[in-house]
Amino acid sequence: MMKRCVWVVLAAILLATPAWARTLVVAQDATWPPMEFMNEQKEIIGFDTDYVRAVAKEAGFDVVFKNVAWDGIFAGLDAGQYDAVCSSVTITDERKKAMDFGIPYFKVRQALVVSKDSTVKTLEELKGKTVGGQIGTTGYFAIKKTEGITAKSYDEIGLAMEDLFSGRIDGVVCDDPTAAQYALQKADYAARLKIAAVLDTGDEYYGIAVKKGNKEVLDLINKGIEAVQAKGIDKELRAKWIGQ
- Domain boundaries along the sequence of the chain: 2-107+204-241, 110-199
Q: Is pLDDT at 60 greater than 60 in this prediction?
A: yes
Q: What mean pLDDT comes out for the span 148-174?
A: 97
Residues 174, 133: Cα–Cα separation, whole Å: 6
Decide: 140 and 155 in contact? Cβ < 8 Å.
no
Reported residue count of the chain is: 244
Region class of 42: left (phi > 0), else alpha (psi between -120 and 50), else beta = left
* Reported confidence tier of residue 186, pLDDT bands at 50, 70, 90: confident
Burial per residue of 123-141, b for 16 or more beta-carbon CB atoms within 10 angstroms, e otherwise:
bebbeebbbbbbbbbbbbb
Band (pLDDT 50/70/90 cuts) for residue 5 is very low
Model pTM greater than 0.95? no
Rounded Cα–Cα distance for residues 30 and 130 (Å): 25
| pLDDT confidence of residue 13 | 40
Question: Quick one: DSSP state of residue 207?
Answer: -
The answer, yes or no, to whether residue 206 has pLDDT greater than 90, is yes
Mean pLDDT of 118-124: 96
* pLDDT exceeds cutoff 70 at 6: no
Q: What is the pLDDT of residues 22-34, one digit of tens each?
A: 999 999 999 999 9
Helix extents (H) in the chain = 2-16, 47-59, 73-78, 93-96, 138-145, 157-165, 176-180, 187-190, 215-230, 233-241
What amino acid is encoded at 32 in this protein?
Answer: W
Fold of 110-199: D-Maltodextrin-Binding Protein; domain 2 (3.40.190)
Work out the mean pLDDT of the chain and round it to a whole number: 91
Q: How far is it, in rounded angstroms, from Cα 5 to Cα 7?
A: 5
Give the Cα separation of 35 and 23 in Å (integer): 22
Q: Read off the pLDDT band of 185 (50, 70, 90).
A: confident
CA pseudo-torsion sign 97, 102, 104, 110: negative
To the nearest 10 degrees (0 to 180), the angle between helices 47-59 and 233-241 is 160
Render 13-73 in DSSP notation, one character per residue. Answer: HHHHS-TT--EEEEEE-SEETTTEEE-TTS-EESHHHHHHHHHHHHHT-EEEEEE--GGGH
pLDDT over threshold 80, residue 174: yes
Identify the pLDDT of residue 21. 59
- Please report which confidence band the pLDDT of residue 9 belongs to, taking 50, 70 and 90 as the band edges: very low
Q: Of 34, 43, 120, 84, which Cα lies nearest the Cα of 221?
A: 84
- Residue 203 has a pLDDT of 86
**pLDDT at site 243:** 83
User: Cα separation of 95 and 169, whole Å?
Assistant: 29
Predicted local distance difference test score (pLDDT) of residue 11: 44
- At residue 109, what are phi and psi to the nearest 5 degrees? -130, 165
72-93 residue pLDDT tens: 999 999 999 999 999 999 999 9
Q: What is the mean pLDDT of residues 44-51?
A: 98
Q: Of the candidates 152, 112, 149, 113, which has an alpha carbon nearest to the alpha carbon of residue 134?
A: 152
Instruction: Decide whether 2-107+204-241 matches 110-199 in CATH topology.
Output: yes
How far does the chain reach from its first CA to its final CA, in angstroms? 63
Write the class of the CATH domain 2-107+204-241. alpha beta
